[in-house]
Amino acid sequence: MIIDEITNGIVLDHISAGMCMEIYRILHLERLECSVAIIKNVSSRKMGKKDIIKVADMFDLDLDVLGYIDPNITVNIIKDGKLFEKRKLALPDEVRNVIACKNPRCITSTEQELPQIFRLTDRENRIYRCVYCESRAKDK
Amino acid sequence: MRSLIDILELSTEEINELISIAVDIIDNPGAYSEKCRGKKLATLFFEPSTRTRLSFEAAMYELGGNVIGFSEASGSSVAKGESVSDTVRAVSCYADIIVMRHPKEGAPLVASMKSISPVINAGDGGHNHPTQTLTDLLTISREKGRLSNMTVGFCGDLKFGRTVHSLISAMSRYDGIKFVLISPDELQIPEYMKQNVLDKIGLEYIETKDIGAVMPTLDILYMTRVQRERFFNEADYVRLKDSYILTPDKLKNAKKDMCVMHPLPRVNEISVAVDDDPRACYFKQVSYGKYIRMALILKLLEVV
């Protein structure tokens, strides 16, 4: 399978196998006009299998959201056909409108225009809690 | 401008200051009777409450202020489908300070984000109830003379009991506190309380179903009601409602200076025969509640 090298754009590498479509959806890549390649189940020495997303243009990438989904993803910025920058991800302190609170007693269950805000309360165990009701975000 | 949504927003120094102001009000009520002249308190009660609402209203009147508000959602524009955000944004144009009770967890936080006046959380579902906690802390401080170095037992509904969660969070910051958590399996303290508070600080606590075995160790026994309104299933409520009933007989093994507390209202979890026992503190608690709310109003309105 041949996918063109990109000249200017972003490559998201080391995505856990099977996660690329969720990342595509959460980053709203469907809104982009440029070429987007989604490559599933690529052989990887480190991971066995991995997914890769290549975007043939620069766009406003929300690193916080990506860090929440999987802090092990590598973000490669490509300029003029060369690797310009490798960005490291970290767990964000807060994520907005990425996770929805599942607690039926939470105010967000009835007032749906409210932003869904989750804060990191335990970095070691990657636990996020709803700022309104403190319910724990369900594992992805 | 500040609001009070969660007891942990207050440092122990601020709590101690509120307790000092409340004690001064108890000793010199006349000095405070005009402090809130010309100020309005709005009570927005989207869920029924007698004690908390009347306590806030009495507190504001005794400070010389006025009260506006509603006592159930059906009497407000919420019945027309208005959001909490819009209700509060409008009310904060009339009132200098807002007190809110709401069945949904987090509603007062939403209110505080939108309001131009301070908001006090008077209970949001099974989540937080910081002014009950302040009441409890004033009660313990007055009755025991300290807030540290004691064993505090909580009995009954520790799952949905918001007063329990708030008091555990607040007391866990004082030195030498041990907790004894007495409940049936189905009403044990939630996992997030263990993880975020008890285990995080490494506090000493035990969980048990046997109130009799732990009774002699307790300095405080905090009883709670199994709340019908927190259950989705009536059968579960009926099965659990009589799990623990405190009687004079059960108190025989308790310390002579133990303090029995209850956020009230009680149904039958404390036998009426216990009311005459000198260890029963729950009606004193009600009276302390008004004074600590007076102190809080004064502090949030910045008139002390």
B124 and B134 fall within a common domain: no
What separation in angstroms does the CA of B175 have from each of B12, B148, B178?
11, 5, 9
Contact assignment for A127 to B195 by CB distance below 8 Å:
yes
| CATH number of the CATH domain containing B57 | 3.40.50.1370
- Residue B28: inside a domain, yes or no? no
Q: Are residues B204 and B170 in the same domain?
A: yes
Q: Which of B78, B87, B127 to mutate to test the interface with A (most CBs of A within 10 A)?
A: B127
Cα distance between residue A105 and residue B97, in whole Å? 26
Classified as helix, coil or strand, A68 is helix
Tell me the angle at which helices B130-144 and B51-62 cross, rounded to the nearest 10 degrees: 70
Q: Any idea what DSSP says for residue A73?
A: -
Say yes or no: B155 and B113 in one domain: no
Q: Which amino acid is residue A76, in one-letter code?
A: N
Write down the pLDDT at residue A140: 52
Residue range A117-133, pLDDT digits in tens: 999 988 888 899 999 99
Are B119 and B246 found together in one domain? no
CB-based contact A107 B85, cutoff 8 Å: no
Q: Are B3 and B30 in contact (CB under 8 A)?
A: no
Contacts of B84 in chain A (CB under 8 A): 107, 111
ipTM of predicted assembly, 2 dp: 0.85
% of chain B beyond a pLDDT of 90: 76
The pLDDT value recorded for residue B299 is 97
- Same domain? For B165 and B214 the reply is yes
Find the domain containing B112 and state its range: 33-128
Q: Is the CB of A131 less than 8 angstroms away from the CB of B102?
A: no
Domain boundary among B88, B112, B128: B128
Strands A117-122 and A94-96: antiparallel
Q: Where are the domains of chain A?
A: 9-87, 94-130
Contacts 24+ apart (CB under 8 A), A21-26: A22/A69, A22/A140, A23/A53, A23/A66, A23/A69, A23/A70, A23/A73, A24/A53, A26/A65, A26/A69, A26/A98
Same domain? B123 vs B155: no
- pLDDT lower than 50: segments of chain B: none
Q: What is the pLDDT of residue B162?
A: 78
Q: Are residues B68 and B143 in the same domain?
A: no
Do B120 and B150 have their domain in common?
no
| Assigned domain for B26 exists | no
> What residue ranges in A2-135 does DSSP mark as E strands?
9-16, 36-44, 48-55, 74-79, 82-87, 94-96, 117-122, 127-130
Altogether, the residues listed in chain A come to a count of: 140
Last residue within a domain, chosen from B96, B128, B160: B128
* Shortest Cα–Cα distance, B83 to chain A (Å): 7
Q: Say if A113 is an interface residue toward chain B (CB within 8 Å).
A: yes
Q: Is the dihedral of CA B168, B48, B159, A98 positive or negative?
A: negative
Contact assignment for A107 to B84 by CB distance below 8 Å: yes
Mean pLDDT of A81-110: 93
Kindly report, residue by residue over B21-53, the tens digit of the pLDDT.
Answer: 999 999 999 999 999 999 999 999 998 888 999
Which of B128, B147, B176 represents a domain boundary (last residue)? B128
Q: What is the pLDDT of residue A10?
A: 95
B118 and B141 part of one domain: no
With contacts defined as CB-CB under 8 Å, which chain B residues touch A108? 106
pLDDT of residue A92: 94
Same domain, B46 and B100: yes
**Does some domain include residue B221?**
yes
Q: Is the pLDDT of residue A1 over 70?
A: no
- Distance between CA atoms of residues A40 and A19, nearest Å: 9
What is the CATH architecture assignment of A9-87?
Answer: 2-Layer Sandwich (3.30)
| pLDDT of the residue at B244 | 87
Amino acid at B300: L
Q: Are residues B239 and B176 in the same domain?
A: yes
Q: Measure B293 CA to nearest chain A CA, in Å.
A: 24
* Total number of domains in chain B: 2
Q: Does B63 map to a domain?
A: yes
SS3 state at B104? coil
Contacts of B2 (CB under 8 A, 6+ apart): B9, B118, B300
| Bridge partner list, B148 | none
pLDDT at position A5: 81
What pLDDT, on the 0 to 100 scale, is given for residue B75?
Answer: 67
Q: What is the pLDDT of residues A27-74, one digit of tens each?
A: 989 999 999 999 999 999 989 999 999 999 988 888 888 999 888 899
B82 to chain A: closest CA residue: A111
